[in-house]
Structure 1
Amino acid sequence: MVLITEPTHIQVFLKNEKGQTHTYEVVSGETVTQFKAKVQNKEGVPADQQRLIHEGKQLDDRKKLEDYGVRNLSTIHLTLRLRGG
């Protein structure tokens, strides 16, 4: 017997540097890179300039959101990477 489960959809909040909060729907198993693409489409911030923070930890592109304990109704903070000059 094989049990096939549908991916779980959850809502997370993204709070930007302006204090604005937007809601995103993500799927269980979604990677940080996939989430950054959604943020780029909605916020207009290129993925390579995004720094995402959840519960004090910076999110690594190679990991999944769930690796950081992101659950339904979690808040992720968006800050911008400073460019060297």
Structure 2
Amino acid sequence: FFTSSISTHLNDDSRALSSYNLHSGSRVSLLVTEPATIQVFLKNEKGTNSTYEVTPEETVENFRKRVQEREGVPANQLRLIHEGKEMQAGKLADYNVRELSTIFMTLRLRGG
């Protein structure tokens, strides 16, 4: 948004800035509303670490799918553990995942 004597939200991507009557000396403030990405580590059952870029608001389900694609393990066979808790549903933030956290991946035992 920009301020002169009033605040105006510049939220229409189809409009040129000139259509908002911005002039030389106008002050424009930028508010970033997308959550910043953080790096987390995934340690697999062999002890190998992989780095993932995530947002705390990412769902466990979406992260599980990304792990499946990258690690080659079917999503229904992997368990994700953070701070001793299995991550089953919700968002990564619900499990206190933050910058440089390590998430452990283990495989579910198949019955026989």
Displacement after TM superposition at 1:83 (Å): 1.0
Q: How many residues align?
A: 84
Structure 1 regions of 5+ residues with no counterpart?
A: none
Q: CA offsets, 1:5-43, max 9 Å, x none?
A: 112211100000101000001123101110011101110
Residue 96 of structure 2 is aligned to residue 76 of structure 1: no
Q: Secondary structure at the match of 1:7?
A: coil
Q: Report if aligned partners of 2:56, 2:97 keep a CA contact under 8 Å in 1.
A: no
What TM-score does the superposition give when structure 2 sets the normalisation length?
0.70
What TM-score does the superposition give when structure 1 sets the normalisation length?
0.90
1:1-85 to 2 correspondences below 5 Å: 5-60=33-88, 62-85=89-112
Q: CA offsets, 1:31-64, max 9 Å, x none?
A: 111001110111001111110100101111x211
Give 1:11's aligned amino acid. Q
More strand by share: 1
Identity of aligned residues (%): 64
Root-mean-square deviation over aligned CA pairs: 1.6
Give 1:80's aligned amino acid. L
Q: Secondary structure at the match of 2:63?
A: helix
Displacement after TM superposition at 1:4 (Å): 6.1
The higher relative CO (CA closer than 8 Å, separation ≥ 6) is in: 1
Give 2:55's aligned amino acid. V
**Quick one: distance in 2 between partners of 1:8 and 1:65?**
14
Choose 1 or 2 for highest CA Rg.
2
